[in-house]
Amino acid sequence: MDEIFSGLAHAIQLLVSADPALMEIVILSLQVSGIALALSAIAGVPIGAALGLSRLRARGLITALLYTGMGLPPVVVGLFVYLMLSRSGPFGSLAWLFTPNAMIVAQTIIAFPLVAGLTMAAVQGVDPALRVQVRSLGATRAQEIWAVLREARVGVIAAIVAAFGGVISEVGAVMLVGGNIEGKTRVLTTAIVLNTRTGDFALALALGIILLTLAFIANVAMLQLQGKE
Amino acid sequence: MRESAVYQIEKLKKEYSRRIVIDIEQLEIRAGEIFAIVGPSGAGKSSLLRLLNFLETPTAGQIFYRGQMQNGNAPLAVRREITTVFQRPVLLRGSVRENIAYGMHLRGERANGRVDELLATIGLQSLARASAVKLSGGEMQRVALARALVIEPRVLLLDEPTANLDPHNVALIEAIVREHNRARGTTIVLVTHNVFQAKRLAHRVGLMLGGRIVEVNDTAAFFDSPRDPRTAAFVRGEMVY
Ligand SMILES: Nc1ncnc2c1ncn2[C@@H]1O[C@H](COP(=O)(O)OP(=O)(O)OP(=O)(O)O)[C@@H](O)[C@H]1O
Ligand SMILES: [Mg+2]
């Protein structure tokens, strides 16, 4: 019990003093997950929206694939990216393994089905009558689609926030393809694993608090946006 | 074809999954008139309005709009002359004012005094900035009418526009409809369950049954000396469906 309290006190001290080693880890985490999120949103929002709007026969199959992708274990994604990027793998010549680039690739793959799948669900959730009524008011086809997307915007933001929560907190993939190298590929989650193992609970707790705070901020921001509706 | 016809319908058919929902031999809607369509639930009234707004393509037959044959792919300029107030209006997220201005926004026009005038006309000035999706059913219906009127359509299709309203607002909406028709010459097709409303507003009335137009007549004749026994029964409220 004492250990927890002294750990907590030390953690707060590290946070308040903006400890440089700590900050480095936080910044790398935000960079990796932020870039992965941006890439997955750039691809996932339009694809999810297109799927939500389309009446294709194959949509059922694509939906099943996306939903499976939403539940992909990060460690399996890590393994896959590892194999792709390892020296003998098809992309070995990039020499990305154990660099932040590899971590971005893995997290993009984890985030994409979340963004696309939840965007699709949000677009499908818009009342189909809305599209017809907007058309009746004189909308072009593009204006019609835009109106549907605007209606779905809260759901799209929720999709991006959910994906952020997913990648910032995953450990399996970044551990495998990044290697948790100090000053190079160490992020919040891998640092927590390491520091817990080595008994440095203060640093582990400080990192845990930051992780929770980031997730909390993202959700508060989303609720704020929802409240404005 | 008569110069005064806005719509000329010939042998129009619409099927949904092989079931015939609209089957109209011939029907004309004249420029500047209020044409009421009455008929029991499921007669095809809303389906006909969707065809008149060129939101769907007929299975067979033709619709001439102002002398030109059109279908579900009518050019934008034609579609923008026509709008519908739907039986179950769906408003957009955003304020009441934004919803009313929406048709202007679609046409690249700025919201202007017309929006405020309409807000006043429908008695919703105090809710101008309120969220449209939180309105009551009757308020939504009035906003739906205002957002249709703001674009000053040549043809206004009304699908049960007073279904959710109290007597005061029914009178208000009927006055607005009559005034728009009189002052601007807007052609109005009014679908209603309420035969008394048809009697109050329409110049001509058509009875629809099972996708067919049974009888079209001037309002007085429709009610006082109907040609078809089914019309007589419907007008007396004795129609069994
Ligand atoms: N999109 C559709 N797909 C399949 N069937 C449809 C569709 N739209 C309408 N129908 C069918 O067409 C028939 C006529 O429907 P419509 O909505 O035009 O009736 P209505 O006269 O407007 O009835 P109400 O007075 O209840 O509104 C109904 O049997 C309905 O089930
Ligand atoms: Mg109807």
CA end-to-end span of chain A, whole Å? 45
Question: Smallest Cβ distance to A138: which of B80, B86, B89?
Answer: B80
Q: Is the pLDDT of residue B112 over 70?
A: yes
Chain B residue numbers touching A122 (CB-CB < 8 A): none
Total domains in chain A come to: 1
**If you average pLDDT over residues A220-228, what whole number do you get?**
79
Question: pLDDT value at position A115?
Answer: 96
Question: Which atom number of ligand 1 is nearest to the Cα of residue B193?
Answer: 25
Contact B127, B135 (CB under 8 A): yes
Q: Provide the residue range defining the domain that includes B193.
A: 5-235
What is this structure's pTM?
0.85
Min distance B131 CA to chain A CA atoms (Å): 8
Q: Is the pLDDT of residue A56 over 80?
A: no
Size of interface A-B (CB pairs under 8 A): 51
Total domains in chain B come to: 1
Q: Cα of A116 to ligand 1 centre, how many Å?
A: 34
Question: Ligand 1 pocket test: which of B19, B23, B47 has the largest number of ligand atoms within 8 Å of its C-beta?
Answer: B47
Q: Using pLDDT thresholds of 50, 70 and 90, give the confidence band for residue A166.
A: very high
Question: pLDDT value at position A222?
Answer: 81
CATH number for B190: 3.40.50.300
Q: Using pLDDT thresholds of 50, 70 and 90, give the confidence band for residue B240.
A: low
Q: Cα of A224 to ligand 2 centre, how many Å?
A: 39
Write the CB contacts of A18 (distance below 8 Å, at least 6 apart in sequence): none
In-domain check, residue B134: yes
Q: Cα of A112 to ligand 1 centre, how many Å?
A: 40
pLDDT in tens, B9-39: 999 999 999 999 999 999 999 999 999 999 9
Alpha-carbon span B47 to B56, nearest angstrom: 9
A70: helix, coil or strand? helix
Which is nearest to B22 in space by CA: B31, B32, B13?
Answer: B13
Question: pLDDT value at position A9?
Answer: 86
In-domain check, residue B202: yes
Alpha-carbon span A107 to A36, nearest angstrom: 6
In-domain check, residue B240: no
CATH number for A116: 1.10.3720.10
Among all bound ligands, the one having the nearest atom to the CA of B18 is 1
Question: pLDDT value at position A228?
Answer: 64
Q: Provide the residue range defining the domain that includes A16.
A: 2-228
pLDDT in tens, A113-151: 999 999 999 999 999 999 999 999 999 999 999 999 999
Question: Smallest Cβ distance to B83: which of A129, A137, A150?
Answer: A137
What's the complex ipTM? 0.93
In-domain check, residue B241: no
> Where is B218: in which H helix or E strand?
strand B212-218
pLDDT in tens, A178-202: 999 999 999 999 999 999 999 988 8
